[in-house]
Structure 1
């Protein structure tokens, strides 16, 4: 695919849950390389957008992935097309070992790249016999991201990967996603604007279930008035990532 053509192009995405409109027509482009950030205040609709893209909630509109319309496809069909998802709650199987969690993520007909996962996350190799439920929050996040990198996905979606993590672990996760993005595009939903500044080339901001802004990440984050208006934050230091700013709303 031409790198100037979005790998994922969302147009007019609407989600209706329990008779209530959550998304009112979201537009989102995810570049075919690097990191694209999805930002917004609490309740803006970021996680619902991701779930809508993946078909995990009822949706309408257009979701074109790798040149093909995917609205109407089941989630498992989208995953087989090469989308890896690390959810906000990490979604590890607590009663299974690290190795078993990874084995469950193997895609039929493919060759799982354990060497890549263990290179990025040596801790997972060391703890492969440990129950996932006994891992720290940071280790569980590494397992969640590791599963998405196992199958040579075309796109990785990471939803709030640093949520609840200690500053040192935030730095580690940032470094891993930076390395992963060298070979696979990443859609990053994140509160830590320092992480976004370091990783993202482009960003989309949601407000009240609609797209409020799309453009270069650096242009937005270097504009204090725009960050206050769109994200409700100003400049401040945030632990965990060098050059950090205050967190935006979820």
Structure 2
């Protein structure tokens, strides 16, 4: 594994209910910045993330900073410094914002970085006593990302963080991810290509549960024909398009 690679996934395979979902995914996450995981609907992006985290049965190799983790349970992967903001945000609706954040504190990970979270998301401090279920979609996404920043993580995985959000909130979330990536590498599953263009240095494209492309993000997005073939975007400027979502 290169010194510039934090996470190296090789031949990742997932079999669920007798059905092969992933057929041998290879990807690298750089030790800095944002690596985007892209693909058409059903390509296997979310399953890949779940496979990395051990949330689904998996085989192959998943090396985090040189350490093999494919046989570890999810909680052990997380304790090694992986923060996860899931596609559905995963907030506890009946708990307050403060309680949601408190649950994310990881024992033995040092002092929780509340100052950083509140600096990036002042609303979360203002709404600390508010039930998370009453927040807007954008505010719930702030909680999800904020939880990943509380601990001294080595990697943040953000699965569709801008999905279903208003354009203004998409911009705010992108700004926060951009700042977070200055300190912690990010694996970003994202269908909004304008966000990918802004944030990602590297990208991996999946197709039918396999790796179809790996390389610099700007090269892929700068090649209209390749982007349309791999991502299924329509005609017109790629910077304004949204790629097909994963299920």
Q: Distance in 2 between matches of 1:235 and 1:204?
A: 22
Q: CA RMSD in A?
A: 1.3
Residue 220 (1) aligns with residue 220 (2): yes
Equivalence for 2:114: 114
Q: Which residue of 2 aligns with 1:142?
A: 142
Q: Deviation per CA, 1:115-138, whole angstroms, max 9, x where unpaired?
A: 000000001000000000000000
Displacement of 1:235? 5.2
SS for the counterpart of 1:7 is: strand
The whole-number CA distance in structure 1 between the counterparts of 2:189 and 2:130 is 29
Matched, 1:68 2:67: yes
Whole-angstrom CA distance in 2 between matches of 1:210 and 1:244:
25
For structure 1, which segment, 73-82 or 225-234, has the greater mean C-alpha deviation from structure 2 after superposition? Answer: 225-234
What is the aligned partner in structure 2 of residue 169 from structure 1? Answer: 169
- Aligned match of 2:18: 19
Gaps of 5+ in 1: 238-242
Q: Which aligned segments of 4 or more residues in structure 1 are displaced greater than 3 angstroms?
A: 234-237
Q: Return 133-142 or 106-115, whichever deviates more.
A: 106-115
Output the CA distance in 1 between the equivalents of 2:221 and 2:141.
Answer: 26
Separation of aligned partners in 2, 1:130 and 1:226: 46
Distance 2:170 2:224 in 1: 24
Distance 1:115 1:104 in 2: 17
Structure 2 unmatched ranges of 5 or more = none
Q: TM-score of the superposition, structure 1-length normalised?
A: 0.95
Q: TM-score normalised to the size of structure 2?
A: 0.97
Structure 1 residue 152: Cα displacement: 1.3
